Amino acid sequence: MQGRPEEPPEQTDTTRSATPEGAHMTQTHPGVMPSLDSPADEDPDLRKQLAAYLDLNADDLIGFRRDLHMHPELGYTEFRTTERLVERLKEAGLEPRVLPKGTGVICDIGPDCGPMVALRADIDALPLPDEKDVPYASTVPGLSHACGHDVHTTVVLGAGLFLARQAALGLLPGRVRLLFQPAEENPGGALDILAAGGLVGVNRIFGLHCEPKFEVGQLGVRTGPITAACDKVYVKVNGPGGHTARPHLTADLVYALAKIVTELPAALSRRVDPRSSLSLVWGRMNAGSVANAIPDQGLAEGTVRCLDDEAWHRAPELMRALLHSVAGAYEVEASLEYVRGVPPTVNDQASVQMFKDAGALVLEQPDKVVTAPQSLGGDDFGYYLESIPGAYGRLGVRTPGGPEYDLHRGDFDVDESCIPVGVKILVATVLTALCELPGSAVPTGLEDSRA
């Protein structure tokens, strides 16, 4: 929810823009931008409004990202990051709400009622040392923003500050909710947002993740599954052991375990729709200690990955039933411990189209919107998409012609010009989504951009 306008704070930090967000929130006449916020008269074209905003604020946003990059924090310890966000949002006259555990922020922009679109950023870092030799390298030994969540946080903040200004000018056709989520890598901070009512009243949600395979200026989109569920399974088998000369008096446990390890994935592949891409792959098995003794216990451990939400929900029950039927044939006792990871992220078609339309508008060339590959990695954004439609996109972060850094590596870095690009994409996507929801009527600049 948008707060009361505030007086412009004193500008002492020279890295900040000359025109603080919120300095002119008392302006309410649509289409007229106060002269101090805008170098020229406000243009009705959204692209020009964004260009003017980013001319003034891109360096400041990059500075904000660098500050986060220098001070990475693990899941549920993002207190400093939360503080920085709260400061910036309050400066813009907004009323950020910190989640009950003390990290993560929910912040509403715009009127109290009407359609609402959410933007999500994850704010946590990884337990990996920063290997880069740059002035903004991590100052915390053993921790770094190697998944680009500092960029996600900055891009959502930048979009939110622009949208707050539009709201004050009467140019926001609905409500926007910023979700700064803790502990994505843990994983599970999305559940804290849900528990805090973060999706209540939200019609659609969007999020971006850094993609080092794509160049700056590209947006990767995909309808349907884009990231996978990844769960862990632990199978334990027990049965009477004995001498290998008399297997008929034992459960012949090693043989039975081998059958389970081969037959369980095979049976699953015949019981689940192949389009779900559900796969059970073992990483470890262990039984016995010598050649001529049949052991009385054994175990197998593996992962289940899946791109379909329904198949993911059914997987534990189905696997348990199949395990017992295979184990029963060899008269061993078998138990399954199934440890849930995150659900698959399944993008909604209409939301992906909004990403595409917005990307085509602000990235200038339509071929900058590309198809993102499916990943068998996970992201807890999938929890949001189990409740409401939305889309998770890939933000290109590689310098054209430059080296490709990988996520979750100590040398990961981005071309920081991805930050203004991300802001433009998110702003245009939010406005596109709001305009297509019933109850939104005010001009946004999109019409003039597309004219």
Decide: 392 and 152 in contact? Cβ < 8 Å.
no
Which residue number, 52 or 147, has a Cβ lying nearer to Zn ion?
Answer: 147
Residues 57-86 that bind Zn ion (CB under 5 A): none
Decide: 206 and 119 in contact? Cβ < 8 Å.
yes
Residue 342 in the binding site for Zn ion (CB under 5 A): no
Which residue number, 246 or 408, has a Cβ lying nearer to Zn ion?
Answer: 408
Least separation in angstroms between residue 395's CB and Zn ion is 11
Neighbours of 41 (CB within 10 A): 10
Task: Single out the segment in contact with Zn ion by CB under 5 A; choices: 50-58, 134-142, 145-153, 354-362.
Answer: 145-153
Task: Single out the segment in contact with Zn ion by CB under 5 A; choices: 22-30, 108-116, 140-148, 423-431.
Answer: 140-148
Residue that the structure tokens 């184990």 belong to:
327
Spatial neighbors of 216 by CB under 8 A, at least 6 apart, are 396, 397, 398, 399, 400, 415, 417, 418, 421
Least separation in angstroms between residue 378's CB and Zn ion is 9
Neighbours of 392 (CB within 10 A): 27
Q: What are phi and psi of 221, to 5 degrees?
A: -130, 160
Which residue number, 24 or 145, has a Cβ lying nearer to Zn ion?
Answer: 145
- Whole-number Å distance between alpha carbons of 260 and 246: 21
Least separation in angstroms between residue 290's CB and Zn ion is 43
Residue 147 in the binding site for Zn ion (CB under 5 A): yes
Task: Single out the segment in contact with Zn ion by CB under 5 A; choices: 143-151, 224-232, 340-348, 383-391.
Answer: 143-151
Least separation in angstroms between residue 187's CB and Zn ion is 9
Which residue number, 21 or 185, has a Cβ lying nearer to Zn ion?
Answer: 185
Task: Single out the segment in contact with Zn ion by CB under 5 A; choices: 144-152, 252-260, 307-315, 367-375.
Answer: 144-152
Which residue number, 147 or 369, has a Cβ lying nearer to Zn ion?
Answer: 147
Helical axes 309-329 vs 253-271, angle rounded to 10°:
150
Decide: 55 and 40 in contact? Cβ < 8 Å.
no
Least separation in angstroms between residue 210's CB and Zn ion is 7
Which residue number, 68 or 171, has a Cβ lying nearer to Zn ion?
Answer: 68
Least separation in angstroms between residue 313's CB and Zn ion is 24
CA distances to 35, 129, 206 from 410, rounded to whole Å, are 44, 6, 28
Least separation in angstroms between residue 147's CB and Zn ion is 3
Residues 33-52 that bind Zn ion (CB under 5 A): none
Tell me the β-bridge partners of 242.
294
Structure tokens, 233: 């399974």
Residue numbers at the binding site for Zn ion (CB under 5 A):
147
